[in-house]
Amino acid sequence: MNDGGLPAVLITAFAERPLQGNGAAVVALARPASSGWMQAVAAQLRQSETAFLLPLEGLLPEAEAAGDWALRWFTPSCEVPLCGHATLASALALGHWGLLQPGGTTRLHSRSGPLLVSLSPAAAGCAQLVLPSAGLEPSPLSVELGPLLGMTPLRSWRSALGYGVALLPPEFDLPSLDGEALAGQLPGELRQGLVLMQALGDSADAPALQGLKADYQLRFLAPGLGINEDPVTGSAHALVAPWWCDLLGRDRVVGWQPSPRGGGMVCDRLSSGMIRLSGSGQLLWDGRLSAGVDAAEPVDWSCCLPGPA
């Protein structure tokens, strides 16, 4: 894997068509790389996130690895503990490289624990991933948010992920929001992540995914993570999907993200409390990364080691 460079792809995740959705680069490592090297690669590739996959036997004896993978995510400016779209892209990349078969399942061990991913047995380019949901705690957000939006949110919450969440009235024009401009004006406590969401109700214009009409839509801003606006955000949907499930009285909801690139996912609440996200991805480019891993830098992937059974 080293002689000709490292396999690398760019996949637009949660995208029904090419050039929609959220771009994620995925790099397959042959051995553990340092945080500094991975951050430098992510800064050069300049996607919302770049995912780095390492066969788990690179960290554990093969008998304990069971064919699983270690996974880490980097924005252009920092490492993040959870990323949904780059996890979907990682599953699709493994399928593209012939390392995960249609209908197959594997675990990706991350800072947020083991994440189960699978490829659709029938639909090419479709995958599922199971993410934790951090839970929402009712909380007032910055008093500056209402004036910035020109409208007071109906309700607001905070979460363990560090995201603020605001429910907006149906009359607010969320698709027309200038996310880039708003991101630059957010107060400090909202810069790590702000979810702006609203119900779609019976709107005839609600988009459909996998034959199902979207129930809600959201926009996600995170200038503190180096991402003014994330086009489609799996972690944000996993966070708010349980609230929408409770509101609508069912365990499946469909979320849409009307950002300039747009995309969405089907969200299923599992009995474990985890959220299964189903979505499509599109391969944009396929190549090899020539920048060799710097063996002189210290390496620590202990964050991805499985915990006690």
Query: What is the rounded distance in angstroms from the CA atom of residue 36 to the CA atom of residue 39?
Result: 5
User: By residue range, what is the domain housing residue 263?
Assistant: 136-273
The reported pTM is 0.91
My answer on whether 85 and 110 are in the same domain is: yes
Q: Taking 60 as the threshold, does the pLDDT of residue 308 lie above it?
A: no
297 within a domain of the structure (yes/no): no
207 within a domain of the structure (yes/no): yes
278 within a domain of the structure (yes/no): no
My answer on whether 264 and 226 are in the same domain is: yes
State the pLDDT at residue 286. Answer: 97
State the pLDDT at residue 309. Answer: 44
Number of domains the chain contains: 2
Average pLDDT estimate for 255-261? 95
My answer on whether 111 and 58 are in the same domain is: yes
Q: Taking 80 as the threshold, does the pLDDT of residue 190 lie above it?
A: yes
CB atoms near residue 260 (< 10 Å): 10
State the pLDDT at residue 60. Answer: 84
My answer on whether 160 and 253 are in the same domain is: yes
* 3-state SS assignment for residue 113: strand
My answer on whether 177 and 252 are in the same domain is: yes
Name the nearest CA neighbour of 117 among 99, 129, 126. 129
78 phi, psi to nearest 5 deg:
-165, 165
CATH no. for residue 260? Answer: 3.10.310.10
State the pLDDT at residue 64. Answer: 67
For 203-253, what is each residue's pLDDT tens digit? 777 888 888 999 999 999 999 998 999 999 999 999 999 999 999 999 999
State the pLDDT at residue 1. Answer: 41
Q: Tell me how many helices (H) and strands (E) the chain has.
A: 6, 19
304 within a domain of the structure (yes/no): no
Question: Out of 44-53, 54-63, 71-80, which region has the weakest mean confidence (pLDDT)?
Answer: 54-63
For 74-99, what is each residue's pLDDT tens digit? 999 999 999 999 999 999 999 999 99
My answer on whether 99 and 158 are in the same domain is: no
| Average per-residue pLDDT for the chain | 92
Beta strands 105-110 and 69-74, pairing class? parallel
State the pLDDT at residue 2. Answer: 44
